[in-house]
Amino acid sequence: MTDESAGRAPLPATATTVVVGAGYAGLTAAVDLHDDGVDVVVLEAADRVGGRVLSERLDHVSGLVIDHGGQWVGPTQTRLLAAAQRFGVSTFPTYNTGDHLELWTDGVCRPFRNAGPADGPGVAAYEAATEQIDALAATIDPDHPGATASIADWDSQTVQTYLDREVSDGDARTRLALAVQGVWTVEPRDISLFHFLFYVASAGGFDQLMETEGCAQERRFDAGAQAIPQAMAAYLGDRVHTDAAVHRITVLDDGGVLVDTARGQVRARRVVVAAAPGAAVRIQFTPPLPQARNRWMERSPMGDVAKIHTVYDTPFWRSVGLSGEATVYGDHSVGVVFDNSPEDGRLGVLVSFVYADRQQRWARLPDAQRRADVLATLTALFGDQAGAPLHYTEKNWPDDPWAHGGYAANPAPGVWLEHAETGWRTACGPLHWAGTETSPVWNGYIDGAIASGRRAAAEILAALR
Amino acid sequence: MTDESAGRAPLPATATTVVVGAGYAGLTAAVDLHDDGVDVVVLEAADRVGGRVLSERLDHVSGLVIDHGGQWVGPTQTRLLAAAQRFGVSTFPTYNTGDHLELWTDGVCRPFRNAGPADGPGVAAYEAATEQIDALAATIDPDHPGATASIADWDSQTVQTYLDREVSDGDARTRLALAVQGVWTVEPRDISLFHFLFYVASAGGFDQLMETEGCAQERRFDAGAQAIPQAMAAYLGDRVHTDAAVHRITVLDDGGVLVDTARGQVRARRVVVAAAPGAAVRIQFTPPLPQARNRWMERSPMGDVAKIHTVYDTPFWRSVGLSGEATVYGDHSVGVVFDNSPEDGRLGVLVSFVYADRQQRWARLPDAQRRADVLATLTALFGDQAGAPLHYTEKNWPDDPWAHGGYAANPAPGVWLEHAETGWRTACGPLHWAGTETSPVWNGYIDGAIASGRRAAAEILAALR
């Protein structure tokens, strides 16, 4: 959602701190600084706040709010829950009653709960593998990833290599591949075993990433997940400037920083760069950033994901005992489906996720074929009714001009080992780094973004004292 | 070398073709287009032409010319030899008489020729491994990398994984790691087996990459390797503009292209982007580039290399039967040394290469320690005389504000498989791609840059007809 009422005021010539990026990370940093009395200005490239969180109100569909980006909150995501409480945004449980469906590679559709159908191919081996993954991840202290005993070994091999070697059951490997696609929005070949395990550790275990009840997908926001950054921006008032893309950041000899946008220049004592790595790396830094930080950002590409919402006059799947959640293997583009209906169930909403290799193929199709492709999968899962939605809408994150993808940036193999020490999030003089990718907790999630904003604000408060 | 006499003329408002980047690739494209009567303008971000090729004349050291960047030409690099001939730049053989030295991990120094000392640890296993590598690479058609039978397997594992699995001899693995560092300027964990094999295939075999006589390091340029791009720029005259960094490229609805620099805007019918991927990805493209091309560039980070030249009053190592070439293992920062003296031997010059992990550590040292570190290794190899050069100079490519590293950009694991088809070098409407990374021959080398410029020019000539 965009807010027409604010954002285009002239930029101030100076501010104690400039925050680059008005996603959860940047706005959290700005709120913390503002709370502590620090003069702060937020510069956002897009015409809205929220970053990779984007809610849309469909006025022609009963005012339904859908979330094109990050949308869930889990019980251990205490920072996000606290932000929701502070800014008055209520939550409700993700619909999680009835059977999930699994459409397997052979076209067989099986109901399930938990990790997979009891009679599903490779489920037992999959569960054994996730136990091993949790055991390996438990050796990582997410606050000190570089100190992990096996980091050199684990960051030198892809997850695909690990799966090929350790998981002999091909069906279990297929399941784990969808888990990687669904959580990291990449293929197992694209990330290292270390990044995979770090991410698991930062979330508190594999199930936390995968499950709904008690886990990352437990609850949703009545007003959409963007309501919180919008409320943060309202709290900050005219300190938040949209349509203000930063293209150059210059650290002066006197320690001050010049931040350049097409709408003018702001001079600051400290800067928080809270844009995603793939956006931040496109800023021209003078003098050039330290090699470790530059390489960290250059080598952390965003994942590939699209979210497709289909709206129906009722959540009709519920009446036949289905939860609306589904996992899809084989030739389908859709990988995962969730019930994304409003809490009162006045409408039925399914959200379909398309990831990684499948996203790349799907995104190249013409509009009508993309839609037909998604609806064919939904029909295979939920029957003909699913193929005739009242409303169909897509958000293809790799096309987003500022985020360049989603959900998060994933360091390539070797990057953690080579650059964790100083490249991950260490301040470079007056330049501080935020964004969920810099978080040791819930890395890649909204909660991690908030944690990173709090840390960056604390760094600056300490520096200004 | 910079050329003060030209480059800062006002930019023209229009040109049939704009070339972004005045390295070998861009200048070759511009020369070909100009030869064919096409109106062309070259926009270069730096204050000089040459890109990753940079020669310096040391007026205070007898006018010695040293090459901070690409410097060699081999007999199968026919495009570069032809360019040297056309632009009147003479070559001479790399000094290659006498014994090379190998400083092994245990501190033992052994003379050798060819792949390694006959009594060197792991040499036989190393040679067996390179034969296997050549056999695998022979299955790749560099013009059609995506058609490789094993691409999915090979692009899903790192070179480190391959070495750990296939090369049981630890000493041979150590040798192969230095080969990867020396040729790709990364660690074996950073690139996929497929990229490694593709690169070998594009060069015509592993020995072509590694050796001097008959191979990539066979000859050097009397006036330095930058003399050719300088002559190309002189030929193009006021069509070449330095200090003209392109920050935005906009494709208009009518098919025209606007190219924006801080010095003004040029409107063109066609554009060749001949900057390195890591520089090109920092340009803001409107509308956004196709996902495949964008991801290709985002996920192709530059390697890490520094070149250090030390100058002596004579090439004293020659008189004791040494070639000046050395390979260094263990705790030293320097990985490889070559004799880089002028042909007449009036001075002695050694060039030391520092790569990858070792470059990252070395570059963080204070100035005096970096120098002491390099000189200690040279002393261990060539005696005390090597520790007291007349002149010492470094070029640390990761700090270069435009190249961001060297020698070349290396696609991360998964990138070839996912994006070779349309992301590697396929034109995006009026936007054409050049640069050595887009070349099927001598990818990563000057010769590949020239090949890419010729291809891009041919694409444009075909499009304009």
For residue B297, being part of any structural domain is answered with no
Q: In this structure, is residue A6 part of a structural domain?
A: no
Sheet containing strand A391-396, edge to edge, reads A109-112, A99-103, A322-328, A334-339, A348-355, A305-312, A391-396
Q: Which 3 state secondary structure label does DSSP give A60?
A: coil
Looking at beta carbons, which residues of chain A come within 8 Å of B305? Answer: none
Q: Please list, residue by residue across A224-246, b when 16 or more beta carbons sit within 10 angstroms of its beta carbon and e when fewer do.
A: bbbbbbbbbbebbeebbbbebbb
Query: CB neighbours (10 Å) of residue B394?
Result: 18
Same-domain status, A281 and A364:
no
Give the Å distances, CA to CA, from B379 to A430, B103, B334, B362: 41, 11, 12, 17
pLDDT confidence bin for A421, thresholds 50/70/90: confident
Tell me, yes or no, if A240 comes closer than 8 A to chain B by beta carbon: no
Q: What is the largest CA-CA distance in chain A?
A: 68
A292 contacts in chain B (CB < 8 Å): 360
B123-163 pLDDT, tens digit each: 999 999 999 999 999 999 999 999 999 999 999 999 999 99
Helix (H) or strand (E) run with residue A317 in it? none
Structure tokens at A125: 């081996």
- Exposed, middle or buried, B187 (CB in 10 Å: 0-12/13-18/19+)? buried
Please, which residues have CB within 8 angstroms of residue A239's CB and are 6 or more apart in sequence?
Answer: A30, A34, A40, A41, A42
Structure tokens at B284: 């803001």
Q: Would you say B66 and B56 are in contact if contact means Cβ atoms under 8 Å apart?
A: yes
Say if residues A434 and A8 touch (Cβ distance below 8 Å).
no
Average pLDDT along chain A: 96
- In this complex, which of A190, A278, A363 lies closest to B413 when CB atoms are compared? A190
Instruction: Report the gap between the CA of B291 and the closest CA in chain A (Å).
Output: 7
Q: Is the peptide bond before B287 cis (omega within 30 degrees of 0)?
A: yes
User: What integer pLDDT is reported at residue B302 of this predicted model?
Assistant: 97
CA distance A151 to A424: 15
pLDDT over 60 (residue B4) = no
Specify whether B204 is located in the same domain as B231: no
CB-side neighbour CA atoms (13 Å) of A335: 27
Q: Do A288 and B401 touch (CB under 8 A)?
A: yes
pLDDT value of residue A340: 98
Task: Give Cα separations from A330 to A105, A125, A327, A333 (angstroms).
Answer: 4, 19, 10, 8
Residue B196 annotated as part of some ligand binding site: no
**Between the CA of residue B187 and those of A41, A444, B105, what are the distances in Å?**
41, 27, 17
In total, the C-beta contacts within 8 angstroms joining chain A to chain B are 111
For residue A407, whether the previous peptide bond is cis, meaning omega lies within 30 degrees of 0, is yes
Residue B278 touches chain A, beta carbons under 8 Å: yes
Neighbours of A166 (CB within 10 A): 16
Residues A183 and A247 in one domain: no
CA distance B195 to A79: 42
Strands B257-261 and B246-251, bridge-based pairing: antiparallel
Which ranges constitute the DSSP H helices of A271-363?
Answer: 277-280, 291-298, 356-363
pLDDT digits (tens, 9 = 90+) for B162-220: 999 999 999 999 999 999 999 999 999 999 999 999 999 999 999 999 999 999 999 99
Confidence of residue A460 (pLDDT cuts 50, 70, 90): very high
Residue B2 pLDDT grade (very low, low, confident, very high; cuts 50, 70, 90): low
**By C-alpha distance, which of A302, A274, A324, A309 is closest to A452?**
A274
Residues B45 and B60 in one domain: no
Task: Mark yes or no for CB contact B291/A161 under 8 Å.
Answer: no
CB contact under 8 A, A360 and B304: no
In this prediction, residue B3 carries a pLDDT of 58
Domain stop point among A181, A210, A239: A210
- Residue B291 and residue A360: Cβ atoms within 8 Å? yes
**pLDDT tens-place string over residues A8-43:** 789 999 999 999 999 999 999 999 999 999 999 999
Tell me how crowded residue A124 is: count the other CB atoms within 10 A of its CB.
15
Three-state secondary structure call for residue A451: helix
Same domain, B158 and B194: yes
Between residues 244 and 263 of chain A, which touch chain B (CB distance below 8 Å)? 247
* The predicted structure's pLDDT at residue A2: 64
A277 and A320 share one domain: no
Tell me, yes or no, whether A390 and A331 share the same domain.
yes
Domain assignment present for residue A105? The answer is no
Residue A41: Cβ within 10 Å count: 23
Q: What is the mean pLDDT of residues B79-100?
A: 97
Token pair 């640390």: residue: B396
- What is the 3 state secondary structure string of chain B? CCCCCCCCCCCCCEEEEEEECCCHHHHHHHHHHHHCCCCEEEECCCCCCCCCCCEEEECCCCCEEEECCCCEECCCCHHHHHHHHHCCCCEEECCCCCEEEEECCCCCEEEECCCCCCCCCCHHHHHHHHHHHHHHHCCCCCCCHHHCCCHHHHCCCEHHHHHHHHCCCHHHHHHHHHHHHHHHCCCCCCCEHHHHHHHHHHHCCHHHHHCCCCCCCCEEECCCCCHHHHHHHHHHHHHEECCCCEEEEEECCCCCEEEEECCEEEEEEEEEECCCHHHHCCCEEECCCCHHHHHHHHCCCECCEEEEEEEECCCHHHHHCEEEEEEECCCCCEEEEEECCCCCCCCEEEEEEEEHHHHHHHHCCCHHHHHHHHHHHHHHHHCHHHHCCCEEEEEEHHHCCCCCCCCCECCCCCHHHHHHHHHCCCCECCEEECCHHHCCCCCCCHHHHHHHHHHHHHHHHHHHC
**Closest partner residue to B247 among A247, A301, A418, by Cβ?**
A247
Residues A201 and A160 in one domain: yes
Return the residue in A291, A362, A364, A428 with the most chain B beta carbons within 10 A, the one to mutate for interface testing. A291
Mean pLDDT of A73-84: 98
* Residue B437 is assigned to a ligand binding site: yes
A409 inside domain: no
B78 touches chain A (CB under 8 A): no
Indicate the helix (H) or strand (E) that contains A410. Answer: none
Residue-level pLDDT at A127: 96
* Minimum Cα–Cα distance from B190: chain A residue: A414
C-alpha B335/C-alpha B317 separation (Å) is 18
Which residues in chain B are contacts of A412 at CB distance < 8 A? 190, 299, 301, 412-413
Separation between Cα atoms, residue A421 and residue A322, nearest integer Å: 47
- Is the CB of A413 less than 8 angstroms away from the CB of B190? yes
Taking CA–CA distances from A187, the nearest residue in chain B reads B414
- A300 in B contact zone (CB under 8 Å): no
B336 & B392 share domain: yes
Block residue for tokens 């030198």:
A156
Which has the closest alpha carbon to B369: B399, B398, B333, B400?
Answer: B333
Are residues B65 and B45 located together in one domain of the fold?
no
Predicted confidence (pLDDT) at residue B7 exceeds the cutoff of 70: no
Whether residue B209 contacts residue B444, with contact meaning beta carbons closer than 8 Å, is answered with no
B23 occurs within a structural domain: yes
**Mutate which: A184, A187, A190, vs B, most B CBs within 10 A:** A190
CATH of the domain at B239: 3.50.50.60
User: Is B253 part of any domain?
Assistant: yes
The pLDDT, as a whole number, for residue A9 is 85
Q: Are A341 and A309 in contact (CB under 8 A)?
A: no
C-alpha–C-alpha distance, residues A227 and A85, integer Å = 12
Sign of CA dihedral B164, B165, B171, B175: negative
Angle at B215 between CA B209 and CA B219, to 5 degrees: 120
CA–CA separation, B241 and B348 (whole Å): 36
| Best mutation target, B154, B158, B185, B359, to test chain A (most A CBs within 10 A) | B158
Q: d(Cα B17, Cα B30) in Å, to the nearest integer? A: 9
Render pLDDT for B334-352 as a digit per residue (tens, 0 to 9): 999 999 999 999 999 999 9
Question: Cα–Cα distance between B154 and B147 in angstroms, integer?
Answer: 13
User: What is the reported pTM?
Assistant: 0.96
Look at residues B307, B314, B306 and name the one whose alpha carbon lies nearest to residue B389.
Answer: B314
pLDDT in tens, A93-152: 999 999 999 999 999 999 999 888 988 999 999 999 999 999 999 999 999 999 999 999
Q: What is the CA radius of gyration of chain A?
A: 22
Confidence of residue A7 (pLDDT cuts 50, 70, 90): low
Total domains present in chain B: 3
Residue B8 has pLDDT above 90, yes or no: no
Q: Is residue B377 part of a domain?
A: yes
Q: Does A399 touch chain B (CB under 8 A)?
A: yes
Tell me, yes or no, whether B312 and B379 share the same domain. yes
Instruction: Name the closest residue on chain A to residue B247, using Cα atoms.
Output: A247
Task: Calculate the dihedral angle through the C-alpha atoms of A46, A49, A51, A54, rounding to the nearest 10 degrees.
Answer: -110
- Binary contact (A298, B292; C-beta < 8 A): no
Give the H or E element holding residue A233. Answer: helix A227-236
pLDDT of B314 reads 97
Of the candidate ranges A76-85, A160-169, A344-353, B210-219, the one whose mean pLDDT is the lowest: B210-219
pLDDT in tens, A272-301: 999 999 899 999 999 999 999 999 999 999
Tokens 């040494």 belong to residue: B322
| CATH number of domain containing A149 | 1.10.405.10
B150 and chain A in contact, CB less than 8 A? no
Same domain, A27 and A66: no
pLDDT at residue B304 in the model: 98
d(Cα B447, Cα B458) in Å, to the nearest integer? 17
C-alpha count within 13 angstroms, C-beta hemisphere, residue B127: 9
User: Above 0.90 for ipTM, yes or no?
Assistant: yes
For residue A267, what is the enclosing H or E element?
strand A264-273
Average pLDDT over residues B273-295: 94
Residue range of the domain that includes B369: 55-74+90-97+215-220+305-399
Cα separation, B155 vs A189, whole angstroms: 7
Q: Which helix (H) or strand (E) holds A111?
A: strand A109-112
Task: Name which of A158, A295, A301 is nearest B158 (Cβ-Cβ).
Answer: A158
pLDDT value for B92: 98
User: Which CATH number fits the domain that encloses residue A381?
Assistant: 3.90.660.10
Domain edge (last residue) among B210, B238, B271: B210
Rounded percentage of chain A residues whose pLDDT exceeds 90: 95
In angstroms, rounded to a whole number, what is the distance separating the alpha carbons of residues B258 and B455?
23
DSSP H stretches of helix in A355-414: 356-363, 367-382
- Assigned domain for B404 exists: no
